[in-house]
Structure 1
Amino acid sequence: MTDLKEIQKIADDFSRTPLNLKPFKKRSRKDVADGLRAVFWYHTVRHQLGEKSSYALEKRFDEKGSFKRNADGKLIYPHRWQKYSHGERVPIPSLVVNVEKECKGSARKLNHVLWEALRLEQPVCPHVEVWLRELNPDIQMVVFHIEHREFDVIYKREKIGLRLLGKLSDRASMDALACLTILFREAVELERFHDAFLLGREIHWMLLFLGIEFQRNGVGKELIKLYCDRIFPMLAWDEQCFFPERTDYVGASCFLNLSPFYHPAHKGKSLSWETRVRCMRRLSSTRGNWAVMFGLDIEYGPNPDSQDIPKKLLQEYERRKRIVERAKEAISLGISDVGFLFGRRPPPNTFFQR
C-alpha cells in the first residue's frame, strides 16, 4: 500500500535529482544496462532490508573482513556497495547468492530479462521465445495461448493488437515493460511497423505509469533516457518517427501517479499498486480524460531525415500537433471537455482539483 505523502516525496525526488549513473571505464565491456541493473538491485536490497546507506550494507554483507584500519587508525574498506549505488560496478554472483538469502527476489531483479532486452549488441529475434518464458506467469498467460494436440500441449503467441496491449497495460510492472520491449524490438527487426508503432506507444505509457516506481529504486530518469536514446529511435515508418524528447516524462509520470489520490473516493487513503494502475489507465483512456489521452501520448510525425514527405502527411501532423498543444493547455487548466481540444467550446469547469 502507498500513501499520498510517500508518492509526493518520490515525485519531488524524481523532479530534483540529477542523472545518477556513472559511466563504466572506456575499456569496459559493460553496457549502460549493467549500470542500471546494479543501481536497481542496490536500492531493492536497501529498501527491503531497511538499511539507510551503502556503508551499512557493506558492513552487513562483509564476509571477508574487508574493514580494516591503516597505520593512522583510519577505517578503510572497498566501497563496493557505494559503487553499486552509482552503477559503477556489478555485484559478483557469490554476493548475489548471499544477499538473496536475506532479500528474496533481489537476484531476479538484478538478472531480469528487461536488462537483456535493452542491450543492442545482438538481434532479439533468436531469443524472443526464451525471454518471454522468463516473465511472470500472469504476463505469459497474456502473451501465449494453449493449443491441445493429441497428447501434446503447444503454446502459441497471441497476435499484437489493442486487446493484448490493454491486458499488458492492466498488469503494469517491470515484467510487462520487458514484454513490450521484447515484442517491440522483434516487430522492428521483422519490419512489422504497424505492430511496432502500437507497441512503442504502449511502452511510452508504461514508462509514465512506472516512472515513479523505477525512481523509488534509483533508476527512473536513467531508464527513461535509455529508452529515448536507444529504443524509440529504432522505429522509422512511412517517413515518420517518434519524438520522445518532446515528452516531460518526469512531470507526466508524477501527474499520473498523484492523480488517483485526489479522486473523491480515495482522498486520505492508502492505495494499492493495482488500484493506482486502474485509475491511471482510466484517466488516460477515452473513458477518462481526453486531454490526458492526447496531451500525454507520445508525439510522432515526419522524420527529419526524410526528404520527400507527402503533403497529406504534413497536414495530418500539423492538425495533430494543434490538438496536442490544446490538450496540454487543457491539462494545465484542468479541463476535460473534448470540445475544448478541437476549439469548439469555451473552457468548462475543471476536472481535477486539489
Structure 2
Amino acid sequence: MIDFEEILELHTKFRTAMQNVDIAKKIAPNRDLVEIVRVIFWYEGVRKRSKLNKAYALEKFFEPQSFKVRSNSDKTSYRCKWQNYEIGLHTPQCRLLKMVDLILHGSLRELHHPLWDILKLKPNRSTLSENYLQRLNPEVLAVLLKQAEDVEGHFERARVTKTLISKLKKIANLDALAALVWLMYEALSDKNQKRCESLTRSIYDVLLMRSIWWEERKLAAPLLTLFTQRILSQCAPPHLIFNMSTQEIIDASAALNLMVHIDQGSSHIGLSWLQRVRIMLKLLNGRRTLPGLAAFDVMFAFAPIYIRDPDDITTPKVLLDDLQLQEKQRKKAWDSILPDKTRSLPKSEMEPPH
C-alpha cells in the first residue's frame, strides 16, 4: 500500500508524466491516446513485476534472439522494440504477449483490459453491447447481474439503482470504472439525464481515489486526460460544462489519499484498498471528518467543478448564484484543509481548484 512519502513522491512526478506520451504523439500523431496508454500500462506492469528497470534489460530477457553480434565487429545489435513499448509507440505482437503472460500471468489482460475499449474516442457497437459486461471480473459482475427468478442457473441484468452504483464505487478498480463508464453510455443512449449525472459523479469520485496511484505506471496525466475529455464532459448538468484540469484532479487525489493517513495515523499501513476506499467515500460524502475541519469541508473542497456553458444564453440566474455559492464554499473549505491537514504537500505543488 502506498504510504505517506510515496504519495508525495508520486504527486511530484506527475508534472513530468506526459513526457513519453508526448514523444509518441509527435512520432505518430494519428495514434489514439488510449492505444498509447494501454501499451505503457502493460510495459510498466511488466517492468515492475520483473524488476528489470530498463527497456534494454527487458528485451534481453524476453527476446534474447533479438541480440546479434555483428560479423564485422564485436558490437551487439538489437531491434530496440521495447523502447517503443516504453513510450506506447507500438503494440506488442500476440506471440510476445502470450510468452510474457506465461511468465507474468495476468499481464496479457492488462493490455486488453475492457477499460481501454470503453475509453476509445468512439467505442464500437460490440463494446456498447451487453456482451461487453462479460469481460469484467467476477467481483464486478456479481454487482451487475442477479439470479433470474424463473430459470435456474441463469443470470440477468440487475436494475441500475443508487445501491448498485454505490457498490461499484466501493470496489474502485479498473473493472468497476469500466462498468461505470459503460452504464453512463447506456444512460446517454436511454436519454436518462439523472442517472447519467449520478454515474458521472461516481466516475469522478473513483478517479479522486485512484488517479494518484496511476502515477506508479507514469500514466496519471494521460489517463485523466482521457477521462476529462471523453467521459466527464459527457453528462454535465443542464447549462453547465465540466471545468477541471488534470492537475486539479491529481492534487485532490493526492490530498484525499493523504487524509486516510492522517485519519488513521500509523494504523493506516495495515489497511486494505477496500478499507481505504470506505474512509475516502465517507470523507467525500461528509459522513467523516478530520480534527479541525467542519463536517462538510472535504465534501465541498473535492466536489467536481462546473461552470456556465458559454454557448448557452439561457442559464437561469438562480443557477449562476448557486455556482458562486459553490465556489465560495470550495475556497473556504480548501483554506481550512491546506494549512494543516495536508501540510506535508508543498503549497507550490498543490493549489485549490479554481
Q: What's the TM-score, normalizing by structure 1?
A: 0.86
Does 2:183 correspond to 1:183?
yes
1:165 and 1:199 in contact (8 A); partners too? yes
* Alpha-carbon shift at residue 4 of structure 1 (Å): 3.4
2:180 and 2:202 in contact (8 A); partners too? yes
Alignment partners' CA distance in 2, 1:124 and 1:244: 30
1:57 and 1:81 in contact (8 A); partners too? yes
1:4 and 1:261 in contact (8 A); partners too? yes
Structure 1: stretches of 5+ with no match in the other structure: 335-350
Q: Who is 1:41 aligned against?
A: 42
Alignment partners' CA distance in 1, 2:309 and 2:171: 32
1:124 and 1:186 in contact (8 A); partners too? no
1:96 and 1:107 in contact (8 A); partners too? yes
Aligned length: 336
Alignment partners' CA distance in 2, 1:277 and 1:75: 50
Instruction: Give CA deviations for 1:47-78 in whole Å, capped at 9, x if unaligned.
Output: 11111111111101115334444745443222
Alignment partners' CA distance in 2, 1:275 and 1:70: 59
Structure 2: stretches of 5+ with no match in the other structure: 290-295, 345-354
One-letter code aligned to 1:204: Y
Alignment partners' CA distance in 2, 1:312 and 1:116: 39
* Alpha-carbon shift at residue 295 of structure 1 (Å): 0.9
Q: Who is 1:206 aligned against?
A: 206
Alignment partners' CA distance in 2, 1:199 and 1:300: 16
* 2:9 partner SS: helix
Q: Who is 2:107 aligned against?
A: 106
Alignment partners' CA distance in 2, 1:126 and 1:97: 23
Alignment partners' CA distance in 2, 1:27 and 1:265: 46
One-letter code aligned to 2:175: D
Over 3 Å counting, the alpha-carbon distance change for 1:125 and 1:103 in structure 2 is closer
Q: CA RMSD in A?
A: 2.5
One-letter code aligned to 1:210: R
Q: Who is 1:80 aligned against?
A: 81
* Alpha-carbon shift at residue 36 of structure 1 (Å): 0.3
1:2 and 1:272 in contact (8 A); partners too? no
Alignment partners' CA distance in 1, 2:247 and 2:86: 27
Over 3 Å counting, the alpha-carbon distance change for 1:18 and 1:70 in structure 2 is farther
Q: Who is 1:297 aligned against?
A: 303
Q: Who is 2:32 aligned against?
A: 31
Task: Show the 5 A alignment for 1:15-26.
Answer: 15-21=15-21, 22-23=24-25
Q: Who is 1:229 aligned against?
A: 229
Alignment partners' CA distance in 1, 2:329 and 2:167: 28
2:44 and 2:217 in contact (8 A); partners too? yes
* 1:298 partner SS: coil
Instruction: Give CA deviations for 1:81-125 in whole Å, capped at 9, x if unaligned.
Output: 111111111111111000001111111110001000011234568
Alignment partners' CA distance in 2, 1:224 and 1:236: 17
Of residues 297, 316, 335 in structure 1, which corresponds to 2:322? 316
One-letter code aligned to 2:41: F
1:2 and 1:270 in contact (8 A); partners too? no
* Alpha-carbon shift at residue 263 of structure 1 (Å): 2.9
One-letter code aligned to 2:180: L
Q: Out of 185-194 and 4-13, give the one that drifted further.
A: 4-13
Over 3 Å counting, the alpha-carbon distance change for 1:264 and 1:204 in structure 2 is closer
Instruction: Give CA deviations for 1:186-243 in whole Å, capped at 9, x if unaligned.
Output: 2223321111111111111111111122111221111001111222222344222222
* Alpha-carbon shift at residue 322 of structure 1 (Å): 1.8
Alignment partners' CA distance in 2, 1:121 and 1:312: 36
Alignment partners' CA distance in 2, 1:268 and 1:202: 24
Alignment partners' CA distance in 2, 1:246 and 1:34: 19
One-letter code aligned to 1:127: L
One-letter code aligned to 2:176: A
Alignment partners' CA distance in 2, 1:125 and 1:93: 21
Does 2:122 correspond to 1:121?
yes
Instruction: Give CA deviations for 1:236-283 in whole Å, capped at 9, x if unaligned.
Output: 442222223387122111112222222355358354323322222222
Q: Out of 109-118 and 294-303, give the one that drifted further.
A: 294-303
Alignment partners' CA distance in 1, 2:71 and 2:220: 39
Does 2:243 correspond to 1:243?
yes
Q: Who is 1:89 aligned against?
A: 90
1:33 and 1:115 in contact (8 A); partners too? yes
Report sequence identity in percent: 28
Q: What's the TM-score, normalizing by structure 2?
A: 0.86
Over 3 Å counting, the alpha-carbon distance change for 1:264 and 1:230 in structure 2 is closer
Over 3 Å counting, the alpha-carbon distance change for 1:152 and 1:41 in structure 2 is closer
Does 2:273 correspond to 1:273?
yes
Alignment partners' CA distance in 2, 1:150 and 1:104: 36
